[in-house]
Amino acid sequence: MVQQAKDQQPPNGKQHSNSNENFPPSSSSNGGALAPASLQAASPQTMTLTADKNKTKLLKCHCDICKDENFVCETDGLCFTSLTREANGSLKYSYSCKTKKYDLADRLPLSCLTSKEKSTSFMIECCSTDFCNNNKLLTLPTPAQEDEKLSLSVFVILTVTIIVLLAVVVMFVIFYGRRKRNSGARQILPEDSVCGASYPILNGHTTIQDFIEMTTSGSGSAGLPLLVQRSIARQIQLVEVIGKGRFGEVWRGRWRGENVAVKIFSSREECSWFREAEIYQTIMLRHENILGFIAADNKDNGTWTQLWLVTDYHENGSLFDFLTARCVDPDTMLEMAYSIATGLAHLHMDIVGTRGKPAIAHRDLKSKNILVKSNLTCCIGDLGLAVRHIVPTDTVDIPSTHRVGTKRYMAPEVLDETINVYQFDSFKRADVYALGLVLWEIARRCNVDGIYDEYQLPFYDVVQPDPTIEEMRKVASIYPLYAMVVCVDQQRPSIPSRWIACETLHAISKVMKECWYQHPAARLSALRIKKTLANLR
């Protein structure tokens, strides 16, 4: 552009040689005299200076390609600096002039703007002062920075999307669950519905005794249909807490004016609830010395799901509670012992038939799991840890662990883990060992001529009367000591000398000693104990 400007300048001497062409000759008619020679020589220079002043001032810029012009260019437009990222990643600066083609007032031309698509590979900036582009530094964002921005945007979008989807799924699950529960509740028909005629238990005049007769009548009855059980459970009103067990609370409830016991499991103990309900509904299990099962149901209280097990209610409570508060006479002692042995013998019995009863072992027999009825006989409850004998395969449906129940009542072979868990008779013999300890608890509270012992748990003199979980877990404390007492020293609960003077106590002491032999095979069977106690009545 500088060269072009030079080419446009007239060569030396030409301007003066053509001065007569630029200035017309003086007319002789206008005065008739010629201008002075000095004025004629000065006039062309004066006119040239005036023309130069009228020219537009050019902008000087740094130019990296103008080597011949000392790296300087002139323009009527703008100076610019550009930065380009080459294919190999190197950066290249360019400096030059940009000609003004259009009058854009104060706005920059489009060629001075960097497009967003090329923001990582090309950048340009324009300026409008002399040498304003000299050593001007530009910065291109790296592709990694752009990727980070993109990744962050994608991450935020994905996170929000996932949260929204999860919220939708949760709302759908809650809605579907409530709808399912409501539809399930609608399936429970009212008492005056057609179903009431098919199931008399649903009419308003049925009592608990009618219910028991219905479940015991017929061949191989296993209880009422599930529909009736759920209807009963949803008509129960809870009154008060009467105890707390391993898996939940026990409440006294009211059903049509009668008391029932409601064992409430938390939803975490669903397997225990299902197992106990399943055992209670075993075909031909119902017996007067087995806690009467009424219904099982799951109920939603609005916050969590409760699992209910409804059974007969006995106001005397457990045998443990009864013996703690009261003593018994010899006849009552025999009736209690006989009823417990009868219930255990029924559990252990294998009734053969097309709809027979499998043999069942309790595995947690103790005074707290035995209830005292109003006539002072007993019934066995809490069958959640029971196992059944599968006759066709001669196997035991036992969970993976066999060391369950209460340590105080565990047989020696259970404590030292020598029990044969694949043979069902092993569990029956362990039950008999626990039965002997229960008989000892009853005998201590037998009042003979005004003399009786205070209630104590078995082995009260060698272990804690009510050991806590923390004490049980101590390595060298209760459990190892008890194992040593029972398995090594072969100690058993002491027999008071006064029992020898009473014929009944002396006879029952012989029975309990035969229940807790060290060798399992030497122990009496539950049926044999039942017959022996029957002869003492």
Residues labelled as active-site residues:
364
Residue 380's DSSP bridge partners are 290, 370
The answer to whether residues 290 and 212 touch, using CB atoms and an 8 Å cutoff, is no
Which residue has tokens 């699992």? 307
Backbone angles phi, psi at 306, to 5 degrees: -105, 145
Cβ-count burial of 28 within 10 angstroms (0-12 exposed, 13-18 middle, 19+ buried)? exposed
d(CA 357, CA 120): 83
DSSP H or E run through 275: helix 270-280
Residues whose CB falls within 8 Å of the CB of residue 353, separated by 6 or more in sequence, listed in order: 220
Round to the nearest angstrom and report the end-to-end CA distance of the chain: 135
CA–CA separation, 286 and 351 (whole Å):
13
Could you say which DSSP state residue 488 is in?
I
CA 92/CA 467 separation, integer angstroms = 84
Residue 461 has φ and ψ, to the nearest 5°, of: -90, -5
- CA dist 352 and 392 (Å) reads 11
Burial track 140-165 (b if 16+ CB lie within 10 A, e otherwise): beeeeeeeeeeeeeeeeeeeeeeeee
CA dist., res. 470 & res. 467, Å (int): 8
Phi and psi, residue 515, nearest 5°: -85, -25
Q: Is 244 a known ligand-binding residue?
A: no
Under a CB-based contact definition with an 8 Å cutoff, are residues 281 and 332 in contact? no
Numbered residues of the known binding site for ATP: 263
